[in-house]
Each structure stands twice: as C-alpha cells, then as structure tokens.
A and B are shown apart, each in its own frame.
Chain A
C-alpha cells in the first residue's frame, strides 16, 4: 500500500455512466492495462468514460490531480484517447499536426514504419493501417502521462504491431500509463500488462 506522499499513478473509483460501470482502477506510473472482453461488452465505453467524452460520474485522479478540477480539454491533453476508427478533420495529413509538433511527429511515425513522405499528402490516400498509426502518432506527440488506446494494432500486420508495442513499452518504462483495448491475449503478455476483463458493460 502506497503512503500518503505517493500521488503517482491513476486512481479510478466508481466511474460509471447510464450505460456502463462502475469501474474501479488503481495503476501505478508506467503500468500497462490490457482491457479485453467480447464485442459490445463496453470496452470502448470504458475508455470514453476515462477520456471524459461520455457523460458519467465517479472519480478519476491522475498523478494526484482530480480531472474535475481542470477544464476538460486540459484533461484530454493529459489523457489522449485514440479511437478504433480514426477521425480526420482536414484534407492534408500535415494539417492534423500542430506546427510545433511536426518534427517530433515525423520521428514517432518513422518509428512506427510510416513513410515521412505521407505527411505532405492527402488523408484520402492513406491506407487503414497508415491512418491508425498516424492517429496514434497524434496522441504520442502530446507526451501525455496517460494514453487511452482503443485497439491500436487492430488493422496492423505483425511487423507494424511489434513496432507499436516496442514504442509503448518504451513510453511505459519512462512512466507513461497505457490503457489499451485488445482482442489478442498474447498482446497483453508481450506488454507485461495487467488485465481487465469487461463483460456486460462492467468489470467481469
């Protein structure tokens, strides 16, 4: 049991919405949590609740700070959520990266196996896998203490999956907490992750 001085980590208590929960969670800094469960079990709802994208109640404290005490956009910058289906809001790939982040974004994308040339092109020409990795890059470029990833390797081949996992392990070693949804049990093992099984929209 951690002492009162330790505020490091993610504490979740009684997090629920009309559709899902309650969820309780206690993760120390650098932990990876693999969320699994059958389709429609509520894994995405859980991540959206953590991201504060769906209305709900309950307590979420990250590194000693309650998310209710900060504006929602600030919270989401600290806990970026990457949906299973990536969203794009401008024609060009580069338009999705803030000017100051473009250097580091290219470096991250390069490590995920995405060619730098794609940044100058249109989103419409990206493959599903490229979109997924670039959406992940957007979140990783924020250097946030918590990452909420909905099936980040879903549409990826084993080679790309390994690259993503290596980067996530590296981030976790540096103290980032990662909560990811996975359909593959072996992924949790490869990431030395704790597991949370969800069924019927609540922890199983």
Chain B
C-alpha cells in the first residue's frame, strides 16, 4: 500500500489554491468559503481518524455503540432541519429519529449477521464504517422525503382539501403526494446503481482497490453495499413519509398545516 505523506497532500492542496484563484479572478466571492470549508474538512477528517484509531484499538462494544449513536443523532437532526417548511416542535426530530434508527438497524444488522459476519460482530472496523455509509443514504432519502411531504402538503393544500371536503379519507387524499415524494426520494439510489461502474467508480470500491484489494473482491463488497443502501433508502423514505403525513392530520381527518413552521 502506498502511504501518503504531508507533502503529497500539500501538492494536492495546490488544486484548491487554483480554485480560490479562479474565484478571485472571476470575482465569484467564493474563495473565503472555499478555504474555510477545506480547513473544516481537514479538521473533521483528522479528528475522525484519531477517534476511529482509538475506538478500533479499544474493540469495546460500548465505545462502538456510542460512536454509532452520535452519528445517527447528527443524521436525524440534519433530516429534521433541512425542509423549507419544517414540522413544528419536536415532531420533525421524532420522525427522523425513528426513521434513522429503523433503517440503520435493519440494514446494518442484516449485513453484520449474514453477509459480513466479523468477529466479534461489533468489530468497530466494520460496524462504524458500514453505519457511516448507510447513514449517508438514509440522510439523503430521509431529507428528500421530509421536504417532499411538508412542502408538498403546503403546495397541494387545495388539491388535498378538495378531496377531504368531498368525503375522501386522509389516506386517499394524500396518496398522490405520497407516491410523488417516494418516487423522488428513491431516484438518487436508482441513478447511483445504474451509473455504478459505467459512469462512476463507487468510492468504496475505488478505495479498496487502491488499498490493494483484488478488484473482484472489491466489486462484491460494492454490490452488497448497493443493496444495503437501496434498502436503507427505501425504509427511511417510507418511515419518514408515513410519520410526517400522520403528524399533518388529526382524529377528524383534517389537513393540519398549522403544524408546519
């Protein structure tokens, strides 16, 4: 394996300086943010590297669990905060927490107990890495879904209430919105799968190949991962949509937009 030294990274950082230069010359006003975000990226990743190194050495299930819980909580917070019209109070967070826990638990659990089966099963090298990748997909699908439902309900108020006003059930009245939202939330994973290997070389696979793994082995991992990611996206989208829709109605089948900020 080729080990990277500080100079190697410094040379690559020249590309960032080039970006900043473009921003200065074309007056994009981006150079400040560019430098800041790159510094942030370096800081975050180095910190994570240290933490992972520490936790990997510990091989303690509780330490692994703590890391996983923190990652999940951050993802849930992000999902709840993203929509243009978030749910009021703790409704958004409760929706995203349930979705994150459910989608991650099911897919990571499935992978660790069937396909990957590390020893011990909580080996942080697998558990944390897998959770991280899956949370990325959950975050994507979850926030697309939550925004789709809340913004969509506000936008389609007349259409939904016109149905309710004629005696439709809340479920009937919101089915078009549910379908549309789930479709949009699952498109990224569909695109990701169709592009994999042809248009893009997925990051995990590339990483493993560079790290010296046999390409066929890396491909198998990537295939497993894609299935896990699509499962996690689907679960997260479904749970977020169902719970968010439930928060927007009441016992009398009304559309309660007053529960949106």
Q: Contact residues of A with B, CB < 8 Å?
A: 51-55, 71-78, 80-83, 85-90, 135, 138-139, 142
Do A87 and B252 have beta carbons less than 8 Å apart? no
Contact with A along B165-199 (1 / 0, CB 8 A): 11111000100100000000000000000000000
- Cβ-defined contact, A142 with B164, below 8 A: no
Q: Choose from B162, B254, B256 the contact partner of A135 (Cβ within 8 Å).
A: B162
**Total A-B residue pairs with C-beta atoms closer than 8 Å?**
69
Residues of chain A lying within 8 A (CB to CB) of residue B176: 89-90
Q: Which residues of A contact B250 (CB under 8 A)?
A: 55
Which residues of the other chain, A, contact B254 by a CB distance below 8 angstroms? 52-55, 72
State the CA gap A76–B168 with chains docked (Å): 8
Which of B113-121, B139-147, B153-161, B221-229 lines the interface with chain A? B153-161
| Distance from B164 Cβ to chain A, minimum over Cβ atoms (Å) | 6
Decide if B165 touches A76 in the complex (CB within 8 Å). yes
Is the C-beta of B253 less than 8 angstroms from some C-beta in chain A?
Answer: yes
Which residues of B approach A to under 8 Å, CB–CB?
Answer: 156-169, 173, 176, 250-256
Instruction: Pick the 9 closest A-B CB pairs, nearest first.
Output: A87-B162, A77-B167, A87-B158, A81-B165, A89-B159, A72-B252, A72-B253, A87-B159, A76-B167
28 pairs of residues in contact across A and B, judged by CB atoms under 8 Å: A51-B165, A52-B252, A53-B164, A53-B254, A53-B255, A55-B254, A71-B253, A72-B254, A73-B164, A73-B168, A76-B164, A76-B165, A76-B166, A76-B167, A77-B166, A80-B167, A83-B161, A87-B159, A87-B162, A88-B159, A89-B159, A89-B163, A89-B173, A89-B176, A90-B176, A139-B165, A139-B166, A142-B166
CB < 8 Å: which of A54, A72, A89 contacts B162?
A89
CA–CA, A135 to B162, complex, Å?
9
Residue of A at shortest CB range from B255?
A: A53
Chain B proximity of A70: nearest CB distance (Å): 11
A169 to B15, alpha carbons, bound, how many Å? 78
Give the distance to chain B from A142, nearest Cβ to Cβ, in Å.
7
Interface centre among A74, A80, A87, A90 (most CB of B within 10 A): A87
The reply to whether B164 and A89 contact each other, CB–CB distance below 8 Å, is: no
Task: Identify the closest chain B residue to A82 (Cβ).
Answer: B165
Give the complex CA separation of A72 and B164 in angstroms: 9
A residues within 8 A CB of B156?
89
B163 partner residues in chain A, CB cutoff 8 A? 87, 89
Docked CA distance A76–B176 (Å): 20
